[in-house]
Structures are given as C-alpha cells and as structure tokens.
Chain A
Amino acid sequence: MTEPAEILFSDEQAQLREIAETFSANKAPMAAVRRQLEADAAITTELWQEIAGLGWLGIAIPEDFGGSGLGLGEVVAIVEPMGRNLLSSPLAATTLAAQAILWSGSDEQKSQWLPQLAGGAVAALALTEAHGDWDLCHLTCSASRTASRHGDMLSLSGGKTFVTDAAMADLFLLSLALDGAPALLLVEKSALGEAALHREVVIDETRRSYGLNLNGIEVPVANLLPAADVSGCLKRLHLGACLLYAAEMCGGATGVINLTLEYLKTRRQFDHFIGAYQALKHPMVDALVGLEQARSHLYHAATVFEMGNLTDGRGEVAVRMAKAQAAAAFAFASDRAIQFHGAFGFTYDCDAQLYRRRALWCEQQHGDALHHRKQLAALLLD
C-alpha cells in the first residue's frame, strides 16, 4: 500500500515555527547572547517568563493539566529556531521532565507538577553521572529506605553532573538505583541543602551546568515515580532528549552556516570575495547538504515521536538517525566556520567559537554520532 507520509508538518506547526523564529531573532541577537555569557543564569527571568507566557512550556502537556495538548513534534518546531540563535534556556529539560511525569507519574504527581511546569516553574534533569557513560541505566547514585516521623523516606547518596540550570530549578528529576533497579525520583528545591549544587565549567558557555551532591538529602518515598518500567521511561527520556538536541543542532548549523556565508560574501583577498574560492565554496555546499539531510531526519523523527511510535523500533531508529546526522552536520559546519574566518576565527570575539562549543556540548550529551550509529547497527543489522 502507499506509504503514509513520513513527515507531517501542520499549518499550526509552521505558524509556531515562524513565531519562534521571530521571537528568537528579536530576543536573542548575538549581543544579548554575549551579554548573557557573563550572567549567573543562562536566561533572564523576564525572558523565561515571556516564554512561559507564550505557552511554550506546556506545548506537550495535556490541556487537563494546563498545557496545549500537543506533542514533542511541536516543541521541535520552536527548539530549532532557538538553537539557531543560541538562545539557552531550561525549556528542553522542563519539557522532558514533564513528559516523564506524564508517562510515569502518579495522578497526584501529575496534578501537582504539570500545571506548574506548564506555567513557568523550572525543572532540571539529573540523569548523568561522573563516569560519563551515556547509558542512563548505569547508575551509581542510590537511596536507602528510612522511616522517620515524616513517614517513609529515602536517604540519597552519590552525585549527579551536568544538571543544567539547576540554580533556577524548582524541581529535579533524578535517576538512581533503588533496591538494585533504576528508579526515578522527584526532588524539590527545598529538599536540597545549601551546598548541594556547585557550578561546573563547561565547554558551551551559554549553558549553566551544575554538579549535584545527593549525600544527606532525604525525600519522601512518595516522590518516586511509580512506573513499573523505569528503564523504559529512561529510554524514552533519552530519546526525547536526543530529538530536542537534534533540533537544537539543526538550528545551530543553520545559524553557523549563515554566519560563515556572511563573511565569505564580504571578506576580500587577492581581489576576490573569498566565497568565490572553491576551496571555501565547496565545503559550504557540503555543510548545507549535511544540514538538509539532518533536517529531513529531524522532522521525520518528530513525526514518529508525535505518533507515539517509539516502542516499535521505527521511532528509535528515526530519532537516533536524526541525532547522529545533526551532530555530524553541526560539527562540520561549525568547525569549518572557525577555519574560514582566518585568524579572526581564532578569537573569542568571533561568534564561530560559540557555535563550535555549542555543537560539542550537544553532540556529547546523550550520545555522539558514533554511539548512535552503534545502537542503530544493533537495530538495523542484527
């Protein structure tokens, strides 16, 4: 039979994308991005509130819980333009935490947290550990059960890393080992002691990343997500993160290609605009071609995600391909951007480095291209 369309992109998605494009260009011009590099937070409170006001934090949250009842596909349509402008925010983390609660939370957890998260509360993902393994089930953090006068409690130990925007967060979604199996836990900001968070120095300076020391933290057992299949939920979270990273990387590649083109059309050497030289022109075409394929994979993956086809393997293949291709495309485009700016490209002032740093961050979180190809090999070849 005729194959159903593999890329669906509704008029609403197109509209949303257009609005997000204008918004990101207006709110995050390069001067603002650079100003923010010096700030404590990745994003100003005002801008975050504006994003919340636009309803973008509730896109993938059902209407019953104060969201718009759409899916991660629509979130892709706004993350891509944000990535293009290097706008950094806890939007992806907040969205994914809400999805985890939606997939695996109890009714109480849903009604307590989803409306808040749709309305501007910030969530942080505490899923990665110092060993750096991309396997989210590789957990050394743990919890032991204790009884106290507040009821049944979990006493946490270990540490998490790359918890972005943790200082802004109202809620943490934490993975740990409990009774020998992975568990997901909601930790409120109030449960953290003064010294629980410490800022990490990371390659992408538009991001604010924190280490989270769990030792001494106690939370009620009721904060566990009651999912029967936590590994499954972790996998969906991982794939959701890959999808949004792919969107961010496609946007970033678009931005950096445009940045480089601008230079190639204005810088002259040997009496020619340097863009006339094929040694520069042809790799720019390679960058474009890589990006075009990445975007096709991305919007296909978004379509599949939307239809909930994650578990039949088709969705997993689509998402992993999208992340692998987007990573390769962004890496190439941003690497060449530095080279094609000459010595100016070697400077802190040149924006090429911002994109290159962003590309490295995005590729190395939740699996690089090689990692995803390895996973794909198992899915496609065995």
Chain B
Amino acid sequence: MTASIATNQTILVVGGGIAGMTAALEAAECGKQVILVEKSPTLGGRTSMLYRYFPKMCFPTCGLEINLRRLRGNPNVRVMTMTEVAAVSGSRGDYNVTLKVKPRYVNENCTACGDCGKAVSAEVPNVANYGLNKIKAAYLPHAMAYPQRFVIDPSIVGTPEGEAAKAACKFGAVDLGMQEETIEIKAGSVVWATGWRPYDANKIQPYGYDRYANVITSLEFERLCDPQGPTGGKVLRPSDGKEAKNIAFIQCAGSRDENHLRHCSRICCMATLKQTQYVREAAGEDAKSTVYYIDIRVIDRLEDFYQNVQKDPNVSFVKSKVARIALNEANNSPILHGVDTEGYHRYATEHDLVVLAVGMEPEVVGVKLPEDIVLDSSNFIEGSKSGGMFGAGSAASPLDVNRSVQSATAAAMRSVQVIHKTASTEAA
C-alpha cells in the first residue's frame, strides 16, 4: 500500500519516547508536517516506566501529560503506533521509507472502557512492569497510554478468548481480522529517537542475575517502588516476598567495561542516588542502602542531589567494583565479594537485595539501519553521511530526560533546516 500521507517536505520521527515526542512537537510547532512512528502500542517510551524521575522527583505522568496536551492540539503530527521502520533508501531531502504496521486488533472506536479485558481470562507478561507480573491479554498498556486504546495480544486471536473479547465490546472496536500492513512513505529528513534498552544483566556472569532471585536490575527496582507496580510499591524480595531492608546498589553493571559496554551510561549514578531515596520512602529509618561504585558521576546542578544523599545517614558508599556475588543458601541473601579502593580492605557483605545499575545500550543494536547512518563505537547514532538523518535523545547518547529533550530539540532544528533547503531548491 502506498499512502500519500507524506512528501519530501515531511519529517519522519522514529520512536515515541520523550525524545521522539519532543522532536516531533518542536518541528510541528515550526509548521512542519511530521509523522511519528512508535513500535509499541503507546507513546511515552521508557520514561513512563520510571516511578519518579530526578532531579525533581516528579512522577513521569506529569511530563508526559504536558507533551500529550501539545500533541492533541497539533494537527501537523500524525502518530502511528505499533509501527516500525523496515527500510530507508534515498538521501537527504528525498527518502523512501517502508513502514510495517502490526495489527492491534482494536480500531479507533475503542473508548478504553475495559469490557474486553474483563471478558478475557488469558494473561501475558506485563511489558510495562518489565514482565514482573502479568496482564490480561486484552489490555491498555498503562494508565497514561496514548492513544487510550486497548490492544489484543496476538496469542488469543483465533481462540475462543479472542471471540469473547470481540463479543464483549459494545462499540464494535475489536477487529480480529486485522493484518500486518506495509506502507511506503516519503520523507525529507529522518530523526532517530529510538531510545535505549537495559544491558542484558545475564551477561555479567559473576553477579549471578540469572541464578539468584534477589539480584535484580535497576529497572525492575523502579517497578517495585511504584504503587502501580507489581508489589504495590513495596520493596519485597523476589525469593520470599519479605520486605528488603538492607539493599546494595552495584554501579557500572555492564558499563565502563570493555567486556560489556565500553561507555559510561551516565544516568545510572543519578538513578541509584534517586533510588536510595525510594528505599527511605518505602521502608523508613531502619532501611539501609549501600552503593558500591568506581566513581560517582553526577554533573553540574545534579551535584546538589548527590550531596544531599551523602548527608543521609542511611546511605553508605563503598568505593569498589564488586568482583562477584555468592549466595547464602540458608536465606537466599546475596553476599558481595570484593576489595575496596580506599584502604584495600577485603569484604564479604551480605544484603537482602542487590540492585544492578545496568547500563544503557542503544535500542537499535541488532536492527538493520540505513547505510547512510553513522554510529559511534558503542552504536549510538551520530547522524548520517548526507546530513539528512539525525539521532535524538538516548538513541544518540546515554542521556537523562532533561538532556534527551535538549538533544531532541536540536535534532528537530536540524531537520527543519533540511526541509527548508529542500523546499527552496525545489522552488528554484
């Protein structure tokens, strides 16, 4: 199918996280036509899966709400969810893009009333909670999902469960006959805001993420602390459901390591400092956090945050990269082994729960990108040879929300320039 929804004056933004939404909105507010494609069923990206975000400890719903309001009020942006870029050819000012749209099995009649979900009993892993719990196979991705439209998981299509969902919908929104579609569009410039994914903790063998229930990732920890998460905001040990009071954070888990990710992921020190404050919030005065680190890397005004955490008597810091984790078989508590750099003391310290501050890896690792794209040595997107494609947000570099937004605004600006140039050459 060829859609005439775009011309070479259109800016294509790939990825609907905070960076993609920002780039799309900034360009659209300059009067440009924008197509924003997102592979998951909702906009928001990984920010919406955080409990709170530094430096101000706001809830992600807040920032998301502002952007969604801008989006609803702007006819220049066309949002396509469940859509991925399959191929890009051409060059600056004149790209041909193939998009693949996966079936949602729910059309725009959906009011998000939830009747289909009630009618279904099958469950699938809940992606919004990093698979820590399950969700009905007819679901709204999360409370702030945009569009506010249910999704039917493909696993129940063609089963009585699927039919039950269809029968339950009063608005005729469930359409089990939907097929994957391929759409060809044109674009003058492309912004890649495809974001990041957590480094696979299983690969860090000495830490035993694959073997020990009470070794979890920082992303899973965000979900445990969130009242909307699988434990209702309680920090419970996966092994026995007991409250964790003595929590270790291991920095640079997979980052700054030539055997894993060679870059510093930049946000994980701040993320851990933030998470020590979740611990205090969840378990009060008798909860202890211990941060094992090589160096704490926080920059400019975030230093304040660090200094405040340093003053917290319930948080202690050990300058050491943990060498390995063993298990106390009696209570399933992880025992951290290593040597500290301030005095070279050997330690073997037991904790209730260990949080690995895993690194950020570009989400596009393993994805076939257009040949024109220029990547750095860690596969972050630097730009493109002909200057028509740009990286934005954490697809371009490991960045926090604030800096992702800055980077996205810069990318939007450059895209607008490309479109202007294209328009003026065509007019001449």
Asked if chains A and B come from one complex, the reply is: no
Q: Which of B's residues lie within 8 Å of A, judged by CB?
A: none
